[in-house]
Amino acid sequence: MASIAQPQSVVQPVTKPATGIWSWITTIDHKRIGMLYGFAAFFFLLFGGVEALIIRAQLAKPDNDLVSAQRYNELFTMHGTTMIFLALMPMTSALFNFVMPLQIGARDVAFPRLNAFSFWVFLAGAIIINMSWFFNEAPNSGWYGYSPLTGTAWNPGRNVDFWMIGIQVLGVASMAASFNFVVTVFNLRCPGMKLMRMPIFTWTTLIVSIMIIFAFPAITVALLLLSFDRYAGTGFYEAAAGGDPLLWQHLFWGFGHPEGYILVLPAVGIVSEILPVFSRKPLFGYSVMVYATIAIAFLGFGVWAHHMFTVGLGPTANAIFAGSTMLIAIPTGVKIFNWIGTMFKGSLRFTTAMLFAVGLVSQFVIGGLSGVMHAVVPVDTQQQDSYFIIAHFHYVLFGGTVFGLLAGIYFWAPKIFGRMFDERLGKIHFWLTFIGFNMTFFPMHFVGLAGMPRRYFTYAEDSGWGPWNAFISFGALVLASSFLVFIVNAFKSIRHGELAGDDPWDAPTLEWAISSPPPAYNFAVIPTVTHRDQLWWDKYGDEHGAHVSNDDLPTTAEVQQRANAQHPHVHMPNPSYFPFTAALGFFITGLGILFRDPAITLGLLHLPIFAVVGMALMIISIYAWAFEPAG
Amino acid sequence: MAQAVATLEQAHGAGEVGHEAEHADHPHSSTGLDSRKLLMWLFLASDCMFFGSLIAMYMIYRGDAERMYLAGQGSGPVPHEILDIPYTSISAFVLLMSSLTMVLALASIQRGNQRGLRVWLGATAALGLVFLGGQFYEFTSFYHEGLGLTTNIFGNAFFTLTGFHGAHVTIGVVWLISLIVVSLRGGVRQDQSLNVEIAGLYWHFVDIVWIVIFTLVYLIPYDKVETVGQQAEQGFRLIGLG
């Protein structure tokens, strides 16, 4: 279809959700769990943002002493850790949870209680890591935690312990959530929803979850070996004991590079939903988009050593990893052209969601190009550990992931809250973000090439980096102000925004066939899908605009409205508090391992009492959960 | 520690939470495969990566203790002095036989034979316990011969790799015993044989991992190993890149 008509919205009253804190603790509704993820992630996004602002205040002028070098180490470590594990990943998880089951016509995820468990374990890990601030022992060896910085010789305090145990707990949460999402996408698709009819966002949910399943075990093992080094006195990463610090880097980046795509691909999925809606055209090259995403995910596991070009792996290894890294540019470039092809000759509407989506396409290209530069070993050798690297990964993780997530929030907020976000404030938000982002991160390319190293807490005046750093810090303030606009917009719109109606954007995917916010059971009757972009096909027929023989049949949305009008009795699983108590058991176990005292001694074993209590609570909860009637 | 906890949770999570899928008002499964079984397969896929990472670690350090010992740097005991292949062959055989009894347990319940189910599950758990007892005896005798977790890089790598495998077997035994208890209370009907099948998937996986570990840790001789770097160079030369 060349282009399709402009949207018309049907406005219906917002249904009143159940309230009370107990209903949130025991909820196993994927939509409410998604909202819990979203609010927690946004809180940590602000927290990590404040850490970044302190970093920028420290670097605003040469020889500054706003924070000590040690505090600076803690700030950049916690900024990275917070943004990656506590803000961006859970924010993608929020959208996976809320949107994906709706897009495949399901009433919930495959394992609703496991889903609640994932959220509470995530929160436990987040609290464990951030508790470190109250003990003045915040993690201080970078989000990548290189050995031997993390060894007891250089880091005798509990700084690394908080990080190590917290990430381990977060890994459990991510894995449990990912198992659930993969099973859901494979098994709970409504009739007719073949794999190649799935919306691209559902595809990226599936692919990212598979990546998490394969990537996280590497960091789990890396952290276990580190735990043994720190707690039991082994020497896996200690050269003096016959160990090899590089083993950490291999295991870490074996996880860490896929992690980059785990963060970016959801944004790719979001943008692939938004561009067609606001270009009034189906996605250009749907199947190529799917294959490109799979190719990126696959290649992403074979490039980790490009993070280690300067450690001396030798020319053969470097050449192989340089080649595999360059290969990734191909499917990524394919995606960019797909997006441009989608917009080409489209009937473009620049809503806030669309602005952020187009913003992603432009900014992600910049980050992608500097990424390809790093594939070239000699270039990488010069740029290693400089601000150029900081510029690169902020263009992919902010210009990519954050822009995509903000686009997704503006796009799906009407579905989530039942009310439209204010477009005027939204556009102010977008332009402040866009300008502030580029002011902050573009000059980092220049200071990086001029030799400014990352992770240094200050620099000398005669380095000449002062003026650009002052400019960058000013840009960071602009960027921060954009988030204030967003918060005002969100507060205002969630309460008083215009009612959204079922389908305010005239979008093609199934979540827009039901009311906003959706009823607890999502679909009064499980829909049946006959085409990709089902709702558009219902309304506008095939790609030539011609209606086919079943013109008289009710549309997918009408089927839902009629079924809802009959007040359906849909049997949903019972709420459960066992996922929460199991997660609480995890939390207490983590604390027990961290603080180690009080403890009981059994022969060689030194068992912290809290760890024993936590494990007992966990095991009891899991058994109770297994034998609890699901309803 | 945290991973032991994680594995425990995931194993239980995989096998036992699952019946909510049946009740969650989703009458169909798009693939025709039960959701719990799919979850187990996904867990095993991630566990492959878990053991893959541990085995990679072991292979990197495999010959190091011997080399350091020869160079007069490290402290003993080293692998070729201490590993007892005949003894471990027997315990490996015991563990492999437990896969046979596991299959017989599943076949029993699929035919509705409750007594057969309990007998063969009991046999599987018992063989698993014999294996664990063998590992406990092996660990203690190594300890008395002077090899502890922190003695040298071999102790680090050996106890970590085989210890995590032992932890997996332990979880499996607990799971099997739980199934027997449920079965005694009439909780495993013929049409619920999937509960046994999923536990079986986990059990067979743990067996297969042991075959890999037994080969790499025990069977391949240690005296002629080269460094990982030398092996890699040889490999590159073979494919014409050296």
Q: What is the pLDDT of residues A134-149, one digit of tens each?
A: 999 999 999 999 999 9
Query: In this predicted structure, what is the pLDDT of residue B238?
Result: 65
Q: Which of A361-365, B161-165, B217-221 has the lowest mean pLDDT?
A: B217-221
Closest listed residue to residue B74, CA positions, set B150, B138, B142, B162: B150
- Residues A508 and A597 grouped into a single domain: no
- Residues A378 and A419 grouped into a single domain: yes
Q: Phi and psi at residue A602, in whole multiples of 5°?
A: -125, 100
Which positions 153-192 of A are in contact with B (Cβ < 8 Å)? 165, 168-169, 171-172, 175-176, 178-180, 182-183, 186-189, 191
CB contact under 8 A, B12 and A622: yes
A561 in Cβ contact with A140 (< 8 Å): no
Query: In this predicted structure, what is the pLDDT of residue A124?
Result: 97
Whole-number Cα distances in Å, B216 to A480, B165, B206, B219, B222 = 54, 14, 15, 6, 10
CB contact under 8 A, B38 and A186: yes
Strand extents, DSSP E, B115-195: none
- Residues A185 and A115 grouped into a single domain: yes
Whole-number Cα distances in Å, A299 to A128, A254, A445 = 33, 12, 26
B241 touches A: beta carbon within 8 Å:
yes
Residue A600 has pLDDT above 90, yes or no: no
Structure token pair of residue B70: 């020869």
- Residues A523 and A582 grouped into a single domain: no
- Residues A182 and A37 grouped into a single domain: yes
Query: In this predicted structure, what is the pLDDT of residue B98?
Result: 97
Flag whether B167 is in a domain: yes
In a 13 Å sphere around the CA of B242, the CA atoms on its Cβ side amount to: 11
- B218 band by pLDDT with thresholds 50, 70 and 90: very high
Q: Which of A544, A563, A595 is the last residue of a domain?
A: A544
Residue A545 has pLDDT above 90, yes or no: no
Say how many domains are in chain A: 2
Closest listed residue to residue A564, CA positions, set A524, A522, A526, A527: A524
- B21 band by pLDDT with thresholds 50, 70 and 90: very low
In a 13 Å sphere around the CA of A298, the CA atoms on its Cβ side amount to: 9
Query: In this predicted structure, what is the pLDDT of residue B231?
Result: 64
Query: In this predicted structure, what is the pLDDT of residue A5?
Result: 46
Q: Which of A529, A544, A559 is the last residue of a domain?
A: A544
ipTM of the complex: 0.92
Flag whether A16 is in a domain: no
Over range A69-98, report the average pLDDT. 97
- Residues A499 and A610 grouped into a single domain: no
pLDDT tens digits, one per residue of A444-490:
999 999 999 999 999 999 999 999 999 999 999 999 999 999 999 99
Structure letter (DSSP) for residue A605 = E
Interface test with B, best of A161, A167, A234 (most B CBs within 10 A): A234
Taking the alpha carbons of A297, A299, A302, A304 in that order, is the dihedral positive or negative? Answer: negative
Which positions 156-175 of B are in contact with A (Cβ < 8 Å)? 156-157, 160
Domain enclosing residue A594, as ranges: 574-631
A10: number of Cβ within 10 Å: 11
Is the pLDDT higher at B73 or at B197?
A: B197
Flag whether B240 is in a domain: no
pLDDT tens digits, one per residue of A225-262:
999 999 999 999 998 888 999 999 999 999 999 999 99
Residue A111 has pLDDT above 70, yes or no: yes
Query: In this predicted structure, what is the pLDDT of residue B66?
Result: 80
SS3 call for A602: strand
Flag whether A561 is in a domain: no
SS3 readout for A364-426: HHHHHHHHHHHHCHHHHHHHCCEHHHHHHHHHHHHHHHHHHHHHHHHHHHHHHHCECCCHHHH
Question: d(Cα A553, Cα A566) in Å, to the nearest integer?
Answer: 19
Question: d(Cα A621, Cα A616) in Å, to the nearest integer?
Answer: 8
Over range A334-356, report the average pLDDT. 96
- Residues A291 and A362 grouped into a single domain: yes
- Residues A454 and A511 grouped into a single domain: yes
Residue B12 has pLDDT above 80, yes or no: no
Question: d(Cα A492, Cα A507) in Å, to the nearest integer?
Answer: 25
Question: d(Cα A304, Cα A306) in Å, to the nearest integer?
Answer: 5
Over range A29-48, report the average pLDDT. 96
A214 in Cβ contact with A257 (< 8 Å): no
- Residues A610 and A527 grouped into a single domain: no
A234 touches B: beta carbon within 8 Å:
yes
What A71-76 contacts at long range (C-beta under 8 Å, 24+ apart), as own/partner pairs, is A72/A457, A73/A140, A73/A141, A73/A142, A73/A455, A73/A457, A74/A138, A74/A139, A74/A140, A74/A159, A75/A51, A76/A51, A76/A142, A76/A455
pLDDT tens digits, one per residue of B102-124:
999 999 999 999 999 999 999 99
Residue A7 has pLDDT above 50, yes or no: no
Q: Which of A500, A528, A544 is the last residue of a domain?
A: A544
Query: In this predicted structure, what is the pLDDT of residue A177?
Result: 97
Which positions 57-86 of B are in contact with A (Cβ < 8 Å)? 57, 60-61, 64-65, 68, 73-74
pLDDT tens digits, one per residue of A503-522:
999 999 999 999 999 999 99
- Among the partner-chain residues A187, A244, A619, the one whose CB lies closest to the CB of B60 is A244
Query: In this predicted structure, what is the pLDDT of residue A567?
Result: 80
Query: In this predicted structure, what is the pLDDT of residue A328?
Result: 94
Domain enclosing residue B198, as ranges: 2-22+31-223
CB contact under 8 A, A626 and B150: no
- Residues A382 and A512 grouped into a single domain: yes
- A551 band by pLDDT with thresholds 50, 70 and 90: low
What dihedral do alpha carbons A348, A351, A353, A356 form, nearest 10°? 80
Place of tokens 């009439």: B186
- A15 band by pLDDT with thresholds 50, 70 and 90: very low
Query: In this predicted structure, what is the pLDDT of residue A3?
Result: 44
Closest listed residue to residue B120, CA positions, set B141, B103, B138: B103
Q: Cβ neighbours of residue B19 under 8 Å, at least 6 residues apart?
A: A626, A630, B36
- Residues A437 and A355 grouped into a single domain: yes
Flag whether A9 is in a domain: no
Flag whether B242 is in a domain: no
Q: Phi and psi at residue B30, in whole multiples of 5°?
A: -60, -30
Looking at residue A318, which CATH number applies to its domain?
Answer: 1.20.210.10
Q: Phi and psi at residue A159, in whole multiples of 5°?
A: -50, -50
Which positions 180-239 of B are in contact with A (Cβ < 8 Å)? 236
Looking at residue B83, which CATH number applies to its domain?
Answer: 1.20.120.80
Say how many domains are in chain B: 1
Chain B residue with CA closest to A588: the answer is: B2
Contacts of B156 in chain A (CB under 8 A): 228, 234-236, 241, 243
Chain A residue with CA closest to B15: the answer is: A626
Which positions 5-44 of B are in contact with A (Cβ < 8 Å)? 5-6, 8-10, 12-14, 16-26, 28-31, 33, 35, 38-39, 42-43
Q: Which of A17-31, A47-61, A83-97, B112-126 has the lowest mean pLDDT?
A: A17-31
Residue B31 has pLDDT above 60, yes or no: yes
Query: In this predicted structure, what is the pLDDT of residue B16?
Result: 34
CB contact under 8 A, B49 and A217: yes
Alpha carbon of residue A471 to chain centroid: 29
SS3 call for A600: strand
A478 in Cβ contact with A432 (< 8 Å): yes
A380: number of Cβ within 10 Å: 20
Place of tokens 């609480």: A584
Flag whether A19 is in a domain: no
Contacts of B12 in chain A (CB under 8 A): 622-623, 626
Q: What mean pLDDT, rounded, does chain A reach?
A: 92
- Residues A510 and A599 grouped into a single domain: no
- Helix, strand, coil percentages (3-state) for chain A, rounded to 5, are 70, 0, 30
